[in-house]
Structure 1
Amino acid sequence: MADQRETDAAVARVALSYEACLLAEAAAAAVPAAADELTAARSVLEAINRYVAAVVALARLRGDSWQQIAASVGLPEESVRSVGSPDRDWWRTHLRQDPSEAAADLDDWVSRHVDGASDPTPVSKVLARRATV
């Protein structure tokens, strides 16, 4: 059971990385002055909500209590408990079918978007560590 929980947590960490990627892209799309600010704000807010949901899911898999999570994110416990799970059906299917490939896709994203990224496996190393435990 503990091994499965650790594997699930590693996969959830990759899913969290994906939501962070989408959040970064939503925020970047809001930068041009010609952007529709209200539409951009909505996209960023939706991405933030999915990111928070992924963080909460990972924290629960790691064994954090609802009280710990609520205190960490600065929200009432009731609000944290009501956070839905991120809904990215196609990507979640890809992640379940081939977690290593999904993580490698995110490694590529980091190398293209993060200045000075020196680690070639910033996301997939989470799965690699799990495979050696």
Structure 2
Amino acid sequence: MTTLTIHDLDGGALAFDLRDLIRALAPLSLAATWTITSPDESSFEATGVGGRRLEELAEASARIAGDELLIIAADTVQVIWGDFVGASPDDPHREWLTIRAFDSSFYEVETLDADAIAKVKSRFSDVRIAEDTH
């Protein structure tokens, strides 16, 4: 499993958000089924109209389609804390990729998918490999 952390900043704040990650990982991210949950570190937190909807979905550990997630994310100002686990469209019981928002400080992407890793590295400028396990 490869874990990337993304730290792109603009004036001291993150220069991207969930919607940018979903777009960068398309088309698979749009076809995936996503489970939204609170992270271990904190309760789920996001701002804006979409952020409130994401918080409701996280409370229920809801599963939604990737295209629906993008619509909600586009209406979200910022995801502060949150976990998004994408399941492969070919096998809805197999985890494809996890996106984690960490306290508005950075995002983490964890996956075995070499294509997704390459897309993240090419789209964002401050990408660090956190760990390679398994």
Q: Say whether the fold is shared (TM-score over 0.5).
A: no
Larger proportion of strand? 2
Higher Cα radius of gyration: 1
TM-score norm. by structure 2 comes to 0.32
Q: Which has the higher contact order (CA 8 A, sep 6+)?
A: 2
Give me the TM-score of the superposition, normalised by structure 1: 0.32
Report the structure, 1 or 2, having the larger helix content. 1
